[in-house]
A and B are shown apart, each in its own frame.
Chain A
């Protein structure tokens, strides 16, 4: 009797059926996002051939680089079922603190300036990530409120430190964000490498596994002996660190620490994650989706500029994209019989 074997999962019924590959392709969010990306790219190129020029693609990649690390950190956070509103403010604050530090280091030569400056930006980001974790674990704030607090504090402190004007001018740094290898600058390549490694860690490592598991059922994760608090601390520290690096990148791009550089960018980062197919309640996200989301958002805003549409419409376009992505997700879910 004990040999009774119950059929837990019947094999997928539409396997081998004709046209099932097409259905699977349409059901694949990454593929659909890629199609959307190509369509938008083609649309803008058709409207103005400048869009597909090497220099414009280079510009787009630089824009993408200022966004994607924020979105990568946000993907980890959202996968746990949290949200990090502080990444934009953190990138601005890190850029300002880094710029002030680098100004003092100027006599020591360019590489010391950039090396220490990067560490300072990273440190500021990690610090804010830790503060987020402390606010959540000890002051018992939900992630939304905890990171709203640090967002406000970081943005405010940036203004306090700078009086509202850019600080620590270093126009030499701008050259670093110019294309060196094909259309990529060195920082672009570092950012792309970080993104790839982050993707591998999110989807193939134990760290990523727990990140999704916590977003799915934190009780279950705690029950098997995982220190959920410590894991969440690492996730918010990671998000902060990537925001800090973004601050350094923005500093290099602008040639100074601009206090308002990151304001509002957290919403674009969250938009990239949502367009990428992540579920805001946690447990489900794809880093490749986030990257495609960031690519789409990047070319939409630059395409609108090239088409001479008022930049004010950019936010409207972002809003429409989020609505479309969310609708697509909801429809796909609704059509799945087994949910």
Chain B
């Protein structure tokens, strides 16, 4: 693509569970300002690959390269510090905390001076910044003092995605972010992804909803039985050929 060095690259990655190879020799690149769709049937290895990319699992073989530097994640937090944010299927929000508290969870801002050193939070500052961050990613928050538990499912998902996009410096991995959402809310999530792309992030979008994939992705990577069977620009797919490639029922 335009930038020769990918933001994030997986090279010949393997992941086995005992004798079962979940991910076999997968290579994948994500460039800045690109949305890459990752699709495949159940058991194709999407989840395992995502967990390797996000640092939950360590690959049994292969390399993970961020901005040209090989990385070895010991935890998802490692990946996060390197600019790779992941949004999990079961969203990682604390429902009893406010929107602002959730956006800053794990990266709290402290009060200046002695109060901060004593461990006190700069809550007003975080609330204001959280609202700003979410707005920049396409989500308006009117009452960040509310707890996330008081929001609807779609709103929660929007906050989770907004948080991930706000913090991601390089790559954001979204695992089924439009699941369980209505058409309008799913559309909002897609808009957030477009905003992330405009900000120059690389986006990996995992979904079973093929119309969403075809609508928004620049490139689609199809996994089958743990291997990449096709990695090509979205324009080269039709709905039928994409489905055929996923199921393997007709030649790509």
Q: Which residues on B sit within 8 Å (CB–CB) of A335?
A: none
Give the residues from 175 to 198 in chain B that come closer than 8 angstroms, CB to CB, to chain A: 185, 187-188, 191, 194-195, 197-198
* B128 interface residue (CB < 8 Å to A): no
B: number of interface residues (CB 8 Å)? 49
Contact segment of B8-16, B101-109, B218-226: B101-109
What is the bound-complex CA distance between A78 and B168, given in angstroms? 33
**Stretch from A59-67, A183-191, A205-213 contacting the other chain:** A205-213
Residues on A with beta carbons closer than 8 Å to the beta carbon of B155? 8-9
Q: A4-B188, A12-B143, A223-B88 are in contact. Are A201 and B93 (CB under 8 A)?
A: no
Q: Known contacts being A205-B120, A221-B105, A225-B75, is A6 close to B92, with CB within 8 Å?
A: no
Asked if A46 is at the interface (CB within 8 A of a chain B CB), the reply is no
Contact in complex: A217, B159 (CB < 8 Å): no
| Residues on A facing B (Cβ under 8 Å) | 1-12, 200-201, 204-207, 209, 212-213, 215-217, 219-221, 223-226, 283-284, 338-339
Q: How far is the CB of B167 from chain A (nearest CB, A)?
A: 9
Residues 72 to 110 of chain B near chain A (Cβ within 8 Å): 75-77, 80-81, 88, 90, 92-97, 99, 101, 105-108, 110
Q: Which of B22-30, B133-141, B229-237 lies at the binding interface?
A: B133-141
On whether the beta carbons of B138 and A217 are closer than 8 Å, the reply is: no
Among A7, A8, A212: residue with most chain B CB under 10 A: A8
> Contact at B138–A216, with CB atoms within 8 Å?
no
A-B contact count (CB 8 A): 120
**B139 close to A5 (CB less than 8 A):** yes
Chain A residues with CB under 8 A of B134: 8
Whether B80 and A2, one on each chain, are in contact in the complex, defined by CB atoms closer than 8 angstroms, is: no
* Complex interface residues of chain B between 194 and 225 (CB less than 8 A to chain A): 194-195, 197-198
Let me know if A2 and B110 touch, CB within 8 A: no
Contacts A9-B151, A223-B76 given; 5 further ones with Cβ under 8 A?
A5-B138, A6-B191, A8-B155, A213-B101, A225-B80
Least CB distance, B116 to chain A, in whole angstroms: 9
Q: Is the beta-carbon distance between A204 and B123 smaller than 8 angstroms?
A: yes
Binding site secondary structure of chain B: mixed
Taking the nearest CB of chain B, how far is it from the CB of A275, in angstroms?
19
Interface positions of B from 29 to 83, Cβ below 8 Å from A = 75-77, 80-81
Q: B121 near A: Cβ within 8 Å?
A: yes
Contact between A5 and B194, CB atoms less than 8 A apart: no
Minimum Cβ distance to chain A for residue B118 (Å): 8
Nearest residue (CB) in A for B80 is A225
- Residue B138 contacts which of A6, A12, A284, A339 (CB distance < 8 angstroms)? A6
Q: Is the CB of A215 within 8 A of B150?
A: no
Q: Which B122-158 residues have C-beta < 8 A from chain A?
A: 123, 134-135, 138-144, 146, 149-151, 155, 158
B119 within 8 A of A: yes
CB of A283 within 8 A of CB of B95, answer yes
Instruction: For residue B142, give the distance in angstroms from its CB to the closest CB of chain A.
Output: 5
Give the distance in Å from the alpha carbon of A339 to the alpha carbon of B153 in the complex. 11
In contact, B195 and A6 (Cβ under 8 angstroms): no
Kindly provide the distance from the CB of B32 to the nearest chain A CB, expressed in whole angstroms: 16
**A12, A212, A224: which contacts B106 (Cβ < 8 A)?**
A224
Contact at A207–B80, with CB atoms within 8 Å?
A: no
Partner of A209, one of B108, B135, B191: B108
In the complex, are the beta carbons of A224 and B77 less than 8 A apart? Answer: yes
Q: When the two chains form their complex, are residues B139 and A8 in contact, meaning their CB atoms are under 8 A apart?
A: yes
CB-based contact B106/A9 at 8 Å: no
User: Are A6 and B140 in touch, CB under 8 angstroms?
Assistant: yes
Q: Least Cβ distance of A157 to chain B in Å?
A: 34
Q: Is the CB of B96 within 8 A of A215?
A: yes
Task: Given A6-B191, A8-B142, A9-B141, answer yes or no on A217-B94 (Cβ-Cβ < 8 Å).
Answer: yes
Q: Specify the chain A residue showing the minimal Cβ separation from B88.
A: A223
A9 contacts B142, C-beta separation under 8 Å? yes
Closest residue on chain B to residue A201 by CB atoms = B119
The answer to whether A212 touches B94, judged by C-beta atoms less than 8 angstroms apart, is yes
Contact call A209/B97, Cβ cutoff below 8 A: yes
Task: Tell me how far the C-beta of A283 lies from the nearest C-beta in chain B, rounded to whole angstroms.
Answer: 3
Contacts A8-B158, A9-B146, A220-B105 given; does A207 touch B94 at CB 8 Å: no
In the complex formed, the residue of B with least CB distance to A220 is B92
Chain B residues whose C-beta falls within 8 Å of the C-beta of A204 in the assembled complex:
120-121, 123
Q: Are A206 and B77 in contact (CB under 8 A)?
A: no
CB atoms of A220 and B93 under 8 A apart: yes
Q: Name B119's contact: one of A2, A7, A207, A213 (CB within 8 Å).
A: A207
CB of B141 within 8 A of CB of A8, answer yes
Taking CB as reference atom, which chain B residue is nearest A225?
B77
9 A–B contact pairs at CB < 8 A? A4-B187, A9-B151, A201-B119, A213-B96, A217-B92, A220-B93, A223-B77, A223-B92, A283-B97
Report A333 CB to chain B, min CB distance, Å: 11
Q: How far is the CB of A276 from chain B (nearest CB, A)?
A: 16
CB–CB B94/A220 < 8 A: yes
The 9 closest A-B pairs by CB, nearest first: A224-B106, A225-B77, A283-B96, A216-B94, A220-B92, A216-B96, A6-B188, A205-B119, A2-B194
- Nearest A residue (CB) for B146: A9
Q: Which of B107, B143, B185 has the most CB of A within 10 A?
A: B143
Give Cα distance in the complex from A339 to B146, angstroms.
13
A200 contact set on B, CB distance < 8 A: 120
